[in-house]
Structure 1
Amino acid sequence: MVALAIMAVAATAVATAVLVEWLSPWAAAASATVLVGGIAGLVVWRTFVPLRALFRALAGTVAGYRDGDFNFGITWDRYGDLIELVDAHNELGHALREQRVALVQRELLLDTMVQNTPVGMLLLDPNRRVVLGNLAARKMMGDGRKLEGGSLDALLHDAPPAVRDAFARGGDGMFTVGDEDHEDIYHLARRMFRLNGRIHELVLLRQMTAELRRQEVQTWKKVIRVISHELNNSLAPIASLAHSGAELLRRGQHEKLPIALATIEERARHLEGFLRDYARFAKLPTPRGEPVRLPVFVEKLRTQVDFAIEGAIPDETLRFDPAQMEQAMLNLLKNAHESGSAHDAVSLAVRRVADGWRIDVLDRGSGMNESVLSNALLPFYSTKRSGTGLGLALSREIAEAHGGRIALLNRDGGGLCVSMVLPAPSQS
C-alpha cells in the first residue's frame, strides 16, 4: 500500500507536468489526479477483492471445523505469503479430517464390541433412564426391544421378581431366574462414574449358567475322586485285616487279633469322621442367632484348644449361632496349630472395625504362597496329605451365612492371619 501511494503521487506529478502544456496548472493537476486516482482505485479493487474472498473462505472453513465438517479445502495462487497461510490452513483441515476418520473408526469398533459382547450393558443417566443398552441387555431385559430412552423402573416392573430383588439390594450380586428345571444364573455388577460432569451408572448383567454348570461338574468330579480315594484307603486295609483276622482265628493265633481289630477300628473311625465332615459341609443348616458374650465364647474355645489372646477381649454381645461359630473358630485354630507354628505362637485377637467385629486367628507357621492363598477357601482344596479341604471352606460358609466374610493374609515376619468379620448386632 505504501509503494502504491508513492507511485500514485509520482504518476500524478508526471501527468500534471505533461498536461500543463495544454491546460492551466489547476486544471492539469485536477485532471492528473482524477486519471491517476482512477487507475489506482482499479488496481486496489483488483488486488483486495480476491483477498476479501480469501478471508471469507478462511472464516467459512473455521465455521465448518467448529461444526465438524472437514471435507473441503482452499486454493490460492496469487501472493506467496498468503499461499503459506492457505497451505497451513489446508494442512490443519487434513489433520482434523484424519483424526475424525480415526475417531469414527474407533467408535464403530467400540460399538461393535459393546453390541456383540455376551454381557448385558446398561448405561443409566442420573434420572435412571437408559442412555445405552446393547443387544445382550435388550434380550435379557426388553425381549429384544430397543431400551434407549426408557426408564429402568419401567424395565424392572416387567422383570421377574429375582431381578427386581437383585437391583433393590444394590451393589454386586448373583440371582437365579426360572425354576429348578429351567433356571438361569446371572451376575449383576453396578459401577458409578462421572460423565460430562454428571453421575452415571453402568450396569453389567452376565449370564453364568453354562460356566457354573461346567464348574459344578468339575467340582463333582473332584468330590468323587476325593471320596473314592479316601474310601479305598480305608476299605482296602479293613478288608485285608479282616481276612488276616479270619486266618489268625483259623490258625488259633488269638494273641494277634487285638492288633488287627484295633487297626480296623481306627480306619473305620477315620472313615466315619471323613464322611461326617462331608455331611456337615453339605447340610449346613440356617444359623439360629442368639446373643453371645464374646469373653464367654472365647473362654469356651480355650477349653478345647490352646491359644494366646492378643489384647483384651471386648465385653460385647454379638448375635450368632454359637454351635456353628464354635465349629468355624475351632477349624481355624486347629489349622493354625497344624501350620508348623510354635505351640505358644497361635493367638486370637478381637477388635472393632467399621462394619462390625473382626476376629483374627494368628500363627507363625510357613504362611501361604499366592497360589494357595487364592484357592485355600475353595471346597476340597487342601495342601495336606490327609486333608479333606473342608475346614476353611466350612468356616467361610458359616461366616457368610452370618452375613460376614473370611480373609487370609500372610503376616510380616512369617505366619498367617485368618480374619473373620461379623456384622455388629445392629446390622444383623
Structure 2
Amino acid sequence: MKSLTANLSTRHKLQLATVLSVVLALVPVLLVLGASSTLSLISLGLAVVSAWFVSGLITQPVNSGIKALETGLLNFKDGEFSSLLAYSEDDELGRLCHTYNQTAEQLRQEKQWIYQRELMLDKVLQSSPQALVLIDSNNHVVFSNHSAKLLFKCEQKLEGLTRYELYAFGSEQIQNAMEAGRDGLFHLKHAHSNDSQLKQDDEAQTWHLSTGQFLLNNHSHRLYIFKQLTRELSRQEVAVWKKVIRIISHELNNSLGPMSSMLHSGKILTQNLDEPRLGRVFSTMQERINHLNEFVQGYGKFAKLPQPKLEVIDWLSLLNSVKQEWVFSIEGDIPNFECFADRVQLEQLLINLLKNAHESGSEAEQIKVKIEAKSQGTLLSVSDAGKGMSEAVMANALVPFYSTKASGSGLGLALCREIAEAHHGQLSLHNRGDGKTGLVVQVFIP
C-alpha cells in the first residue's frame, strides 16, 4: 500500500482516503438493505465519483497553498526573496503562508542591506592606499584593488591571473615576500609610487606585508595586504625632530631673554667708563645673541609650520617676486591652469631650493625652474648643473640638521619637504641623467 501511494501528491492521498472511507461506510449499508448487485455497484460508483469530486474541491485551496510554499522555498534556495504567497485563508496553512511572507520580507531587507554594505566595502577597498590581493585555493587572483594594480604595474585587471602570472608583473622583492607567507617588512627598489606623479626610482621604499588565510564559500583563500611605510616612517622621524627642536628652542629662548636684558643693563652701567674694550665685548655678545635668535627663529619655522592657507597661485607673479632675489631661467612655458597652495610657503620653498642650487657650484644661467600641469596636480622642478648628490648624501638630505656645508643649518630641504607634505604633496631628489651633471628637485602639489 505504501509503495502504491508513494508517488501520489498530498491532495490525491486525501481524495483517495476520502473515497475509501465512503466505500467502507457504504458497503455495510448496502448489505443490510439487501440491495441487488447492480444497484450496489451503481451506488458505489456514484459515491466514489461524488467523494472524489467533492474532496477535490475541498482540498483545492490546500493544494494551491502547498504548491505556493514549494515554489517560494525554491525561490529561497535561489536567493530570491521578492515573491510573496497569495494564500490568505484563516487556517493552519494560511498562518504558515503568512509567516513565510514575513520571513521573505525580512530576508529581502537584509539582502538589500548586505548589498549596500558590499557596495560600500568595495568602494572603500578600491580607494584604499593599501594594496589588496585575494588568491583562492587554485592560485588564481579573485580580487584586487586599484592600489594593487599600481604596485604590480599592471594595466589590465589582476582578477583571473594565476599567482605566477602575477609575479611576472611585480618585482622579485614582492615575489619573495609573498612566497615567504608571513607578515613582515620588505624593501622595494624602483617602485611605482601611488601617492603622486613623481618618479622615485632613486628611492628605496619600505613596505609591510600582512597575510591571512580563511574560508570563503567553503574554499580556502589567502589575503595579501601591502602597506607602504616609507612616508609614515618619515613622518614619525620628522615628528621626533620637531619635538627636539621645540625643546632646544624653548631652552635657548629662556637663556637669551635674560642675557639680552643683562647686556642692556651692562651697557647702561658702563656708558661713562672710558674703556674701548668693553664696547668690543658688548658688540661681540650682541652679535652672538642676534645670531642665536636667528638660529632659533629659523628652526621654529620648521617645528611650527602653520597649516597652508590655500589660494589660486599666480605663477608668473610668484616667479617674478623670487627673481628679485635669485637669478634663474624659466624652462618652457608657464601653463595656464589653477593651482591652490599657500603663496608664502610656496615662495619660501622656491627660495630654499634656489639658494641650494646657487650654492651647488652651478652657474646662475644654468639654474632652471620648470612648472608642468599634470592630471592630478602641479609638478614644480628646480634643476642646476652642480655636482649632484652621492647616494649617501641623497639618503640623508631630507633629514633635519643634516648638511654638507660648514655653515649650513640642515633645515632647507627638510622645510621644503614639510611644506610639500603640508599640501598633501611630495618632494623628491634626482641626479640628472643623459650625461648631465647636477640635481633636479621635484615637488608635486595635488
Q: Give the structure-1-normalised TM-score.
A: 0.46
Structure with more relative contact order (C-alpha pairs < 8 Å, separation 6 or more): 2
Q: Give the structure-2-normalised TM-score.
A: 0.44
